[in-house]
Structure 1
Amino acid sequence: MNSVQPILEAFEVYEPQVRLINFMDESLIVELNETGIVTKDMKRRLLNLVEKAVQSDVDGVLLTCSSFTPAVEEISHLFDVPVLSADLSMLERAIEIGHRIGVIATVEAAGPTTTKLLEKISCEKRKEISVKTEVIPQAFQALQNRNTAKHDELIHEKVKELSGDCDVILFAQFSMARALKSIDGVTTPILTSPQISVKAIVNEISKREIVL
């Protein structure tokens, strides 16, 4: 639920002409927090979720949980419409910006997942990077408890800790984007997924329409 508002706002600002249809399975993130890994059963449920979207005649599917990004590569080829992960475009942009990348996550599984993806992409691009990852589950819990001020405060603290040693900082999850609105005194670029992924999915749909 915490990822819904940031992506709705991003579409409203950057691609207001797009009609959105939302599909959700909240139990996935609950189970992921308990297990710490994406299981085969979770992948099947994610596949079913995408299938429901495609059966509703959508032009593209954008997932909003970065923890499931590795699974997108496994299932996206099964569909005729583009299926994009929450953060891949953001990760590629971060590697373009600099060599020292800071990652902040509030879900345990999202931190290591983002780090591994950054390392994979940098290897493909033959660019050497260093990644410093900070996971603050207390912030996620605060958000679940509707203590948004505490959520943002904990993220701001980590941003200021990383800013001196990083060329760019990533927020690993859509739900963290809200914290960017209230941060100040930081000059290091901070990337969040909603804005970048909105542009990416619309561009991908447009490219396929031109081909067709």
Structure 2
Amino acid sequence: MMQKVAVIHTSPVSLNELKALFAELLPEVEMINIIDDSLLEEVKRNNGITPGIIGRMCLYGQAAQSMGVDLILNQCSSVGESADLVKQTVTCPLLKIDEPMAEEAVRLGSRIGVIATVGSTMKPSCNLIRTKAEQAGKVVEIKEYLVAGALDILMKEKNQEKHNELVLKEIKKAEQECDVIVLAQGSMTVMLPYLEGISKPVLTSPRRAVERVKQMLAQQA
């Protein structure tokens, strides 16, 4: 029987990239997409998750489970802490897209720079890295680099060049101050072609997450 993965999105920004990664790495797996773009706007307005976000995320988790999925992938770092609560309400595994990236960051360095383009992503991303460091028994220092407004420049203004210029400036700053750099949102994979000259590891989440999904599904097979 074909395995199924439900992906819960808060915007369509990473949809095509994740579809391509599934086609490449998991061609025999059915990818089901649940998209609610009100979630990201609500988390941005409130600078964090709300009871409404938690409620909707839990409903989407239940809906995914009712479809008989083998795994749920949460696409958005900004609602990652609500995904922790969803995990308690479903019986199938749930993976947050940035978990494998956070684990890799902890493995690679002690001074970790976190770059985000929306404020609501910063706290859950840093908290996740701290949790992974604690689980690994490692002390880390996290430095925050917020590129305020850059996500809107990318998604609403459709100005990728300006977005990239702003983010690259912070990456170069973090390069001087950190051992490893984390690009907190999946949308920031647009930066990959511009990172060749960066001397420190720069981590993004989508490919690492789909590779982890592949491992987790193989364990179930």
**TM superposition score normalised by structure 2:** 0.88
1:45 and 2:56 equivalent?
yes
Contact 2:77–2:121 at 8 Å: present in 1 too?
yes
8 Å contact 1:69–1:88 — kept in the other structure?
no
**SS, match of residue 78 in structure 1:** coil
Task: Tell me how far 1:123 sits from its aligned partner.
Answer: 2.0
The alignment status of 1:85 with 2:86, answered yes or no, reads: no
2:122 is aligned to 111
Indicate how the Cα distance of structure 1 residues 160 and 12 shifts in structure 2: closer, same or farther if over 3 A, else same.
Answer: farther
Write the distance in 2 (CA, Å) between the matches of 1:185 and 1:59: 40
User: Structure with the greater relative contact order (CA < 8 A, sep ≥ 6): 1 or 2?
Assistant: 1
| Structure 1 residues not aligned, in runs of 5+ | none
Query: If each structure's strand is expressed as a fraction of its own residues, which one has the higher value?
Result: 2
Which segments of 5 or more consecutive residues in structure 2 lack a partner in the other structure? Answer: 1-11
- The answer to whether 1:60 aligns with 2:71 is yes
- Secondary structure, in 3 states, of the residue corresponding to 2:70? coil
* 1:184 alignment partner in structure 2: 196
| Alignment match of 1:27 (pick from 21, 24, 38) | 38
* Of 48-57 and 22-31, the range deviating more from structure 2: 48-57
In structure 2, the residue matched to 1:175 is 187
Q: Give the CA deviation at 1:165.
A: 1.8
Secondary structure of the residue that 1:186 maps to in structure 2? Answer: coil
Q: Which stretch shows the higher mean deviation, 72-81 or 90-99? A: 72-81
Q: Percent identity?
A: 29
**C-alpha displacement of 1:199:** 1.2
Which stretch of structure 1 is more off in the superposition, 34-43 or 17-26?
17-26
- CA deviation after TM superposition for structure 1 residue 121, in Å: 2.0
Give the drift of 1:17: 3.3
Give the letter for the 2:175 counterpart.
S
More moved, 45-54 vs 8-17: 8-17
